Amino acid sequence: MVKQQISPGKRPKNPLAKRVWKDIVRDRKRYFMIFAMLVVTIGFVSGMYVANNSMMTTLDEKVETLHREDGHFELSATADQPLIEAIESGDMADMVTIFRERAYAEAEDEVEKAVREATEKEVENQVESAIRTQTESAVDSRLNALKASGAPISEKDRQSAIDEAFKKAMDENYDSAVNEAKKKAFSSDEYSSAVSEAMDEAKKEIDKTISEEYEELADRYELDDDSFKPVPVSVYELFCKDNDETISTGSSGRIRVYNERTDVDLYDILSGRAPESENEIIIDRMHADNADISIGDNLKVGSVSYKVVGLCAFADYSTLYENNNDTMFDALTFDVGMVTNKGFERLKGIPHYFYAFLYEDRPSDIYEEKEHSDRFMKALITQTAVSESEIEIKDFVPAYANHAIQFAPDDMGSDKAMGGVLLYILTAVLAFIFAVTIGTTLDKESTVIGTLRASGYTKGEMLRYYMSAPLIIVIAAAIVGNILGYTVMKKVVVAMYYNSYSLPTYKTIWTPDAFVRTTIIPILLMLVINFVVIVKTLRLSPLRFLRHDLKRTRRAKAIKLPRWKFFRRFRVRVFLQNIPNYIMLFIGITFVMLLLSMAVGMPETLDYYKDSVNDMMFAQDQVMLTSTEDDDGNTITTKTEGAERFSLTALEYRSEDLSEEVTVYGVSDNSKYIKLDSDLDDNAESGSEIPVYISKSFSEKYKLAAGDTITLSEKYEHKEYKWRVYAVHDYSAGIAVFMTNARFNTVFDREEGSFSGYMSDEMITDIDEDYIAKEITSEDLTKLSQQLDHSMGSYMVYFQYVCVIVAAIIIYLLTKIIIEKNERAISMVKILGYTDSEIASLYLITTGLVVFLSEFLAMYLGYEIMSIFWRTIMMSLGGWYDFVMTTSGFVKEFLLVFIAYIIIAVIDFVRIKNVPKILALKNVE
Amino acid sequence: MSDKDFLKVKELKRSFGTGDTRQDVLKGLDFTVAKGEFCVLLGPSGSGKSTLLNILGGIDSADSGEIYINGDRLADMNEKSLTQYRRKHLGYVFQMYNLIPNLNVKENIETGAYLSDNPLDIDELLKILGLYDHRHKLPNQLSGGQQQRVSIGRAIVKNPDILLCDEPTGALDYTTSKEILHLIEEVNKKYGNTVIMVTHNEAIRQMADHVIKLRDGVIRHDTLNKKKITAAELEW
């Protein structure tokens, strides 16, 4: 047979490409949900990356332009020029030699003086004795002559004659004789050898003492470092005074005022100008915002008044940490300001002798910076130790370990990392939802796929077609998300940063990193997850598709169910049929619960600490004294009821992550505030390590229990203390160690009966303010929770709503799949006469139960994951707060997700209601 | 190879299952089909006719035996070449039309045209199929017969050498079935494709050039129809 009249046509464009758009339009609700979720997440994360990168780059640039310090140290007094020069050399002083030479020189004088004195005494005694012998003999021979002449001479006469002659002889000859004898003695060999022998003894003793003390210090700071190279630095004075800050509306906390900064740690003025006269001050912008201070306001620093002329961000205070050991910064009640040098003189009080330093040879990375800092500290310790002036190092903080400098960039960095992780988790969840959707579509279109494959469509063509919709959605979402990120979201994130940190003015830096992380990675995730799922199914033969036989593992028989009622068995069947969807639902709910654990748990934890801080404080008022004696030398006392003396000092506990400050308390025997075992000190005798109580926070943070040994050390001295944990004291507001005051005084070599201050549940009001160094009240302990609450409290509420929306979308997408998959069955049971409510109960109750049970498990998992996450955060900070989730918090989490489900259940009910009866009678297409 | 041996099947065997459950579906088939021939594979359910068609279409494989199409040995082809073979030489029509629900009539036919380097003119084909006025309709707006026409259109638009039809009238009423058979007949005449149609309808044998009757996996009759009638003349 011959073909007739064939009219060749044109090969059309791939009709499946056209179908992709039709698919997207057909499933617009689903795609819109996924698109919207991706846009918001990508937008926010992209905004975070852009804001973050811009801010971090700005901060990096400001290190140079504002001459930010490489670190600072505090001395107990002003350093003189030779000491500054010695420190600037960055070289280690040869402590042993210098101390030895000094001790030898001192000893030489001492020894010679002692030997000389002994010799002189000896010579004097000898001369006196010689004169006495000579005088006696002369008097006796004279009296014997008189006796012989018959003169009566009594013994009394003899003695008085001797005394008289001795006195005369002494007056006439003693000095010259002594001088002559001394001259002779000092020039004798015996004298020289006595001096030299004594000196040798002294030197031996000196060498022994120096070597013992030095070895301990050298061990601790690794001073015996043959490869040590000097780290030359430039040192700048950065003196400041701490005072109370008062504005017209009352106290607004404390302020640290610096004198004029010209060389180092400069500042970025955000509004106004720098102070020009002695009555002007520039302060930190962040604190000004929080305390509602504006330019032009009058600010009282202690009792001295200044006019605020500018608001700025200091290079060394991107985060307002009052002390480097504080658990959290405090931009609410702590302020930093700067006045002119004359303005500084107006301030009362003793300054902090801070010195900032800059390395001459700038370190290129953090490792080199740490190495520089270690070397410089050796130089600083040794040079200060050998200094002629009696100066001590009170603090040494390299920039990399300075929270005031590092916390903001670190936190922004971790925000970025966390944002990235959330984005990837959410993209993965959405990609899986896509994959499940596509799995359902493949199942639904099985025969069409079979026909197309049988007609000659390749696997690759089918794969590209089914991959197209998810890719188009994720690419579109990435583009829109990035546009949002670079515009709106960036501002939102920057506002969040400005709300927490003292940051300089920034300029937006366009970064490819944000693009890659928020576009390429989500696209790849979507691509890979969908690729795997689709390829796995497309591997089946066209015949399998034509026969609608896509199950890879064929179940020989349906699972046999007990003789339950029909409805119950039906629901179990629905569950068994949709296990992959329900697994996705569980993963989605776990993801939401993790977010909710943060959104609900964080404010819960803060509230918990705020509410229970009064219970946590062992005494409501603790007053630290500058001195325990008043100007008249009398011990300072208080009549406050229940007041007890206590002692306090700070030591360091070193762990792998950080050196944590530990407060050591010495408390009265039988203290009513901190109840210690009455035979605690008796216990000490039985073992070599002193038994102490540790606070609950200390125990929880470092997993310490009774019987463990803790090693605490002095910060910049060579002393180490090894104590045995006797018990844990229920105190969660700080990392602390407790012992009796008597023990405290022995351990720290203090005089018997010494103490540092008073504690009482009543406010202590009868001690002169001049003698009060510091007063600790509950407000000091709520600093952390207040600051955290301020920084992110309000965002957490929004975050809770976001979680509900995310939960609703995930449940919506997955239940939609379940209902779509069962549309024909739903249609069929409708034909059989089931009511919409009965049908809804079959499908919705099953999903409802899965949501219900998933919630419990997901809540537990979310809580556990969040606790680990929280622990990681707290381990990098000083102090310890356990992650708290109250029962009401769990109930809230549960309800939020369940409300999301109820909303979706209503939508699903309408969806079931709208399934047409005719569907069951149609051909399977 | 002559046109008479366009399709050559030798000792073709196929079984399913193993051990006690093993079932020999094709027990050694031998036949040839000439180029342009209208061949009907006839037989009751379970006789192995659909399995044979699937093996001929390269979507199932034989346990042993040989198939040569236009001189090419099917067993020599790997999965990729089999797909290309189906793409270039075969058109498939199924009992269930398997149309893409959200593509209209013309677009459904385009899915076939896209596979060919020299497809037929779609509009002209639509007219031949009687679907030109319905070309913008979606499958669910068409009757069963119209849907099967679309399915035939999708198969022949790429101008295949062989048109494989698996019970194309199985889901249709008498009148519509005759219309579809007429259409296949017309296509065979007009385009000269070799048509292999699986059916259990004995009446259809009368319109075929070549009838192969199967039962229990073996060929009972392999005859050439000398008194062929048109589809319009068929009665059952």
**Residue A877: which pLDDT band, with cuts at 50, 70 and 90?**
low
Cα separation of A286 and A787, whole Å? 12
Of the candidates A6, A448, A922, which has its C-beta nearest B159's C-beta?
Answer: A6
Q: Which pLDDT band, with edges at 50, 70 and 90, does B169 fall under? A: confident
pLDDT tier for residue A557 given thresholds of 50, 70 and 90: low
Alpha helices (H) along A317-402: 341-346, 366-385
Rounded to whole angstroms, the Cα distance separating A282 from A257 reads 9
Assess whether pLDDT exceeds 80 at residue A717. no
CATH number assigned to the domain covering B3-233: 3.40.50.300
Cβ of A17 under 8 Å from any chain B Cβ? Answer: no
- Give the CA count within 13 Å in the CB-facing half-sphere of A820: 19
**Tens of pLDDT, residues A7-60:** 678 888 888 888 899 989 988 988 898 898 889 888 888 888 888 888 888 888
* Tens-place pLDDT, residues A331-378: 888 999 999 999 999 988 788 999 999 999 988 887 888 889 888 988
Say if the Cβ atoms of A23 and B144 lie within 8 Å: no
- Asked whether residue A755 carries a pLDDT value surpassing 50, the answer given is yes
The identity of residue A351, as a single letter, is P
- Summarised one tens digit per residue, pLDDT across range A504-554 is 888 888 878 778 888 888 888 888 888 988 898 888 889 889 888 887 665
Is A922's pLDDT higher than 70?
no
Cβ–Cβ of A26/B140 closer than 8 Å? no
The predicted structure's pLDDT at residue A385: 83
Sign of CA dihedral A221, A222, A223, A225: negative
Q: What is the distance between the alpha carbons of residues B121 and B161, in angstroms, rounded to a whole number?
A: 17
Name chain A contacts of B98, Cβ cutoff 8 Å: 447-448, 450-451, 546, 925
Residue of A nearest to B58 (CA): A454
For chain A, the average pLDDT equals 85
Find tokens 């979720």 and name the residue. Answer: A37
Helices (H), A90-188: 95-148, 155-169, 175-186
Query: pLDDT at position A683, please?
Result: 64
Residue A446 has pLDDT above 50, yes or no: yes
Residue from the list A9, A18, A450 with its beta carbon closest to the beta carbon of B113: A9
Beta bridge partners of A258: A240, A338
> Chain B contact for A464, CB < 8 A?
no
The residue type found at B143 is S
Q: Which of A228-237, A473-482, A564-573, B29-38 has the lowest mean pLDDT?
A: A564-573
Give the E-state strand segments of A761-876 in sequence order: 772-776
Burial A34-43 (b: 16+ CB within 10 A, else e): bbebbbbbbb
- The per-residue b/e assignment along A585-623, b for 16 or more CB within 10 angstroms, e otherwise, is bbbbbbbbbbbbbbbbbbbbbbbbbbeebeebbbbbbbb
Contact A651, A665 (CB under 8 A): no
Any chain B CB within 8 A of the CB of A563? no
pLDDT at A462: 92
Residues A676-684: contacts with CB within 8 Å, 24+ apart?
A: A676/A729, A676/A738, A676/A739, A676/A740, A677/A726, A677/A727, A680/A726, A680/A739, A680/A740, A680/A743, A681/A740, A681/A742, A681/A743, A683/A726, A684/A743
Q: Of A237-241, A452-456, A603-607, A714-718, which range is least confident? A: A714-718
User: Taking the CA of residue A762 as centre, how many other CA atoms within 13 Å lie in the half-sphere pointing to its CB?
Assistant: 10
Could you tell me the strand order of the sheet in which B218-224 lies? B90-93, B162-166, B194-199, B38-42, B210-215, B218-224
| DSSP characters over A389-422 | S---EEEEEEGGG-HHHHHHHHHHHHHHHHHHHH
Confidence at A299, pLDDT banded by 50, 70, 90: very high
In the prediction, which pLDDT does A794 show?
64
Given a cut of 60, is residue A2 above it in pLDDT?
Answer: no
Question: Where would I find the H helices in A258-365?
Answer: 285-291, 341-346
**What does pLDDT average to over chain B?**
89
CB atoms within 10 A of CB A680: 19
Predicted local confidence at residue B95, as pLDDT: 84
pLDDT at A879 over 80: no
Per cent of chain B over pLDDT 70 is: 99
**Among the ranges given (A404-413, A561-570, A767-776, A811-820), the one the predictor scored with the smallest mean pLDDT:** A767-776
Q: Do A456 and B124 touch (CB under 8 A)?
A: no
Q: Over the stretch A649-664, which tens digit does the pLDDT of each residue have?
A: 888 888 766 678 888 9
- CA distance, residue A17 to nearest chain B CA (Å): 10
* Most confident region among A89-93, A148-152, A207-211, A559-563 by mean pLDDT: A89-93
Mean pLDDT, to the nearest integer, of A221-246?
87
- Listed by start position, the domains of chain A span 13-64+406-554, 65-90+231-405, 95-221, 572-617+778-925, 621-776
CB-count burial class (<10 Å; 0-12, 13-18, 19+) for A681: middle
Q: What is the 8-class DSSP label of residue A910?
A: H
What values do phi and psi take at A271, rounded to 5? -155, 155
Max mean pLDDT range (A269-278, A372-381, A861-870): A269-278
Greatest mean pLDDT among A192-201, A807-816, B31-40: B31-40
A320 touching B (Cβ < 8 Å): no
Better-predicted residue by pLDDT, B63 or A610: B63
Domain ranges of chain B: 3-233
Handedness of CA A467, A473, A479, A481 (dihedral sign): negative
Task: Compute φ and ψ for A251, nearest 5 degrees.
Answer: -70, 140
DSSP string across A460-472: HHHHHHHHHHHHH
pLDDT bin (cut points 50, 70, 90) of residue A271 is: very high
- How many CB atoms neighbour CB A167 within 10 A? 12
**Strand, coil or helix: A695:** strand
SS3 A324: coil
* Minimal Cβ distance to B96: which of A453, A455, A923: A923
pLDDT given for residue A295 in this prediction: 94
Nearest Cα residue to A606 out of A480, A374, A789, A336? A789
Label residue A783 by pLDDT band (50, 70, 90). low
Which of A71-75, A427-431, A526-530, B125-129 bottoms out in mean pLDDT, i.e. has the lowest? Answer: A427-431
Give the separation between CA B125 and CA B110, rounded to whole angstroms: 11
pLDDT tens for residues A493-510? 888 888 888 888 888 888
Cα atoms in the 13 Å half-sphere on the side-chain side of A126: 14
Mark yes or no for CB contact B35/A1 under 8 Å: yes
pLDDT at A312: 95
Which of B54, B92, B120 is nearest residue A455 as measured by Cβ atoms? B92
Separation between Cα atoms, residue A143 and residue A132, nearest integer Å: 16
B201 vs A879, more confident: B201
Instruction: Tell me what percent of the residues of chain A surpass a pLDDT of 70.
Output: 94
Nearest to A599 by CA among A811, A327, A858, A889: A889
Average pLDDT over residues A682-691: 69
User: With b meaning 16 or more CB within 10 Å and e meaning fewer, what string describes A423-454?
Assistant: bbbbbbbbbbbbbbbbbbbbebbbbbbbbbbb
pLDDT value at A788 more than 90 = no
In this structure, what are the phi and psi dihedrals at residue A673, rounded to the nearest 5 degrees?
-90, -45
The pLDDT of residue A4: 47
Residue A229 near residue A218, CB atoms below 8 Å: no
Note whether A313 and A268 are within 8 A (CB): yes
Whether the pLDDT of residue A141 is over 80: the answer is yes
Q: Categorize the per-residue pLDDT at A878 as very low, low, confident or very high, splitting at 50, 70 and 90.
A: low
B151, B79 in Cβ contact below 8 A? no
- Weakest mean pLDDT among A142-156, A285-299, A631-645, A770-784: A770-784
Among residues A806, A19, A16, A802, which one has the least CA distance to residue A433? A806
pLDDT given for residue A859 in this prediction: 92
Start-end of H helices in A445-458: 446-455
**Contact in structure between A52 and A506 (CB atoms under 8 Å):** no
* Residue B126: both structure tokens together: 């639509």
Handedness of CA B102, B106, B112, B115 (dihedral sign): negative
| Whether the predicted pLDDT of A89 surpasses 90 | yes
Residues of B in contact with A541 (CB under 8 A): 59-60
Coil, strand, or helix at residue A925?
coil
CB atoms within 10 A of CB A288: 28
